[in-house]
Structure 1
């Protein structure tokens, strides 16, 4: 169910005053999510809204359980400090990453913190049924392990799939290494968990996670390549926004030809980046059946086998061709490598940079840096969680109303009334509808 639910209260519907209020709620929550803890005065400056409007909007978001406020210490400070607004720790999402050898499920907060995870190893490539069942069981496990679970505001479930995933509905068109084709993963996950569920390509989600919380933060133009058990994928951020393409398939760097194909042409013919730069080949040379990212990187660094060193050099040379092509076409300011590609590059980063620089147009290479992803093994879980969080950020008021409807009567039952009361108060001040149009500010 990647598309937002059909909510009559969604932004853009109804009267102008209500639409502006709901859009402003989204703007404020988006800023807190993107910038981290922010004072009310900072939110006033970023939005152009005045202080009383920001106070009313923050109160609504707090009543919905999406943000919390605290007053910083006043020692050595003149005047009353502005309250600091941060994502509420009780606002969480579940993240799922199916791979060839395991299904990993994480509990993630809106600030990008992975609270805990469950990794279920599998003895054979998981089917869609296997993945959904194991993910649902793991979500139940996480809920039982956390006594505070009844107080959670659950945004939903996000699934990071190593394959082509249609953005509008979470249909997996093709995940070749998993053997999934035209699989309604988001729909199946929603049915199994009773939660809003979304799915997207894993590497594209990794790029989004790095943009918000990692090596892409502060960079508007970068490309991200991720290497995992299922191959190599990627994501592109251009002018500060994800580049998805018509159906969300953009960034499939792993299927780009980097050498002449070895046989009849097909989408998975040898000669592609993910056929030539191979985690499985390196694992076999290291004598490992499998390894998590940290174990793989450690084994690669520690090896004194000349054959392993030669393979590392060969794969870096092939990777440099793919990076050359991407840099010449997209002109990024940064290349971020994740998964086993980061471990590979860290074996000889100077060699990789020399190779890329020697092959790339000088003007395109100028100012480009090649760095490792910063989020480590949390990367894809954080990225997957961004799917449900993005839906909440797009319509916080709608999320609050749906949450109240699901609970059918708890402390959250007061949310709509509180939110409407706050909105009425703001309108009485004459600020709720006109601030966005006029850009007024008390600061």
Structure 2
């Protein structure tokens, strides 16, 4: 909720949101810290925590190994039964996960496909995967909704996929269709923007106000930007499409480029071909890259890092971040020769803009996009737990 309002109920709902937001971000917070951070008195915090516990959103426990004088302050944690379903459709697979608050992926299934599926078939397969995962959850589970990380342009207000070129989707209401198919509230957004949010909340970008995130996957390269702690969405939600920026010159002054976009030149498919792999999950691809000493593999990694350095130079010069986070196969090629990329970016970027910039790998690993998609589902609940209590915050 964005405003306190003036009546007591509005203030109560606002404070419920503040408490749940702190527990969501920190994972475990003592009541004394909640009191200090919110400025509320102890009895008010206790009442708010009790209300959230009754909704199966948080649990309280005595701190582990508590010693000292006086009664220790109870620790508040996200309720383990409160979960979201997270979905990431790609060219080669549909991955669905069960994610708890504070970014803990507790189950997932990867459904491999030979070619990208249309939206109707994607929704059908996803609904079946969700039903299978739901059957394995306890009866007390609180399912807050479904979040979808889409490799494409997704309109912010309603989750309409305007364009997902690698999936062949144009103006597809995937969130609405999934909500109808599963019975859960569903929201969709760009995968890399959600990856940026996940790394900012729980990963390499914790406590960093300004960062750029670039993700490389089967469907190309996307990005997300956090400015002063807030995701940069743009007017429609399409900000961060670094993969479509040109990194080589057009064919002529009056000719459009026939290639040369970042995701054309820095490409997962090229790596798989050279490694002799038809497909691979992120861990398999990275293992194959790091274990190979074949000259053609090393040369391709160096070529792709050189192209990537151009994109990072441009982004750093424009946005002046504190941190650049590389996810997906971009993190893997960085791991293969991090010194090369660091040197190339440092040598090309304006000295003042590069001061203090760090380039790091995403720390959430293969779960990153699932965690980001789940954040999309948790957001309305955290914004107003009381409003949603009667609809989604009920054990099914």
* TM-superposed deviation, 1:15: 6.1
Matched position secondary structure for 1:195: coil
Separation in 2, partners of 1:228, 1:86: 33
Contact map agreement 1:110 1:389 (CA 8 A) in 2: yes
Relative to structure 1, is the Cα distance of residues 226 and 262 closer, same or farther in structure 2, using a 3 angstrom cutoff? farther
Structure 2 counterpart of 1:140: 131
The TM-score with structure 2 as length reference comes to 0.96
Q: 1:161 aligns with which of 146, 150, 156?
A: 150
Contact map agreement 2:5 2:11 (CA 8 A) in 1: no
Relative to structure 1, is the Cα distance of residues 222 and 15 closer, same or farther in structure 2, using a 3 angstrom cutoff? closer
* TM-superposed deviation, 1:97: 0.3
Q: 1:123 aligns with which of 106, 114, 138?
A: 114
Separation in 1, partners of 2:344, 2:276: 29
Contact map agreement 1:262 1:270 (CA 8 A) in 2: no
* TM-superposed deviation, 1:75: 5.0
Q: Establish whether residue 37 from structure 1 lines up as the match of residue 38 from structure 2.
A: no
Q: Establish whether residue 62 from structure 1 lines up as the match of residue 58 from structure 2.
A: no
Matched position secondary structure for 2:389: helix
Matched position secondary structure for 1:401: coil
Structure 2 counterpart of 1:294: 283
Separation in 1, partners of 2:2, 2:225: 28
Separation in 2, partners of 1:386, 1:75: 32
Q: 1:206 aligns with which of 183, 195, 201?
A: 195
Structure 2 counterpart of 1:361: 350
Separation in 1, partners of 2:114, 2:391: 39
Structure 2 counterpart of 1:319: 308
Alignment map for 1:38-117 (pairs within 5 Å): 38-73=29-64, 75-117=66-108
* TM-superposed deviation, 1:105: 0.3
Encode CA deviations 1:110-160: one digit per residue, 9 max, x unaligned: 1211011111111221111121111100011112223x1x21111100000
Separation in 1, partners of 2:291, 2:183: 46
Alignment map for 1:36-435 (pairs within 5 Å): 36-73=27-64, 75-146=66-137, 148=138, 150-262=139-251, 264-265=255-256, 269-403=258-392
Contact map agreement 1:11 1:19 (CA 8 A) in 2: no
For structure 1, the residue ranges without an aligned partner over 5 or more in a row are 1-9, 411-443
Matched position secondary structure for 1:244: coil
Considering only CA atoms, is the larger Rg found in Structure 1 or Structure 2? Answer: 1
Matched position secondary structure for 1:402: coil
Q: Pick which of 389-398 and 255-264 moved more.
A: 255-264
Encode CA deviations 1:237-276: one digit per residue, 9 max, x unaligned: 111111111111111110111111358537xx41110011
Separation in 1, partners of 2:261, 2:96: 30
Relative to structure 1, is the Cα distance of residues 77 and 163 closer, same or farther in structure 2, using a 3 angstrom cutoff? same
Encode CA deviations 1:381-437: one digit per residue, 9 max, x unaligned: 000000110110001001112247x77xx9xxxxxxxxxxxxxxxxxxxxxxxxxxx
* TM-superposed deviation, 1:212: 1.1
Higher relative contact order (CA 8 A, sep 6+): 1
Q: Pick which of 278-287 and 227-236 moved more.
A: 278-287
Contact map agreement 2:210 2:226 (CA 8 A) in 1: yes
Separation in 2, partners of 1:60, 1:167: 31
Relative to structure 1, is the Cα distance of residues 73 and 338 closer, same or farther in structure 2, using a 3 angstrom cutoff? closer
Matched position secondary structure for 1:342: helix
Matched position secondary structure for 2:390: helix
The TM-score with structure 1 as length reference comes to 0.86
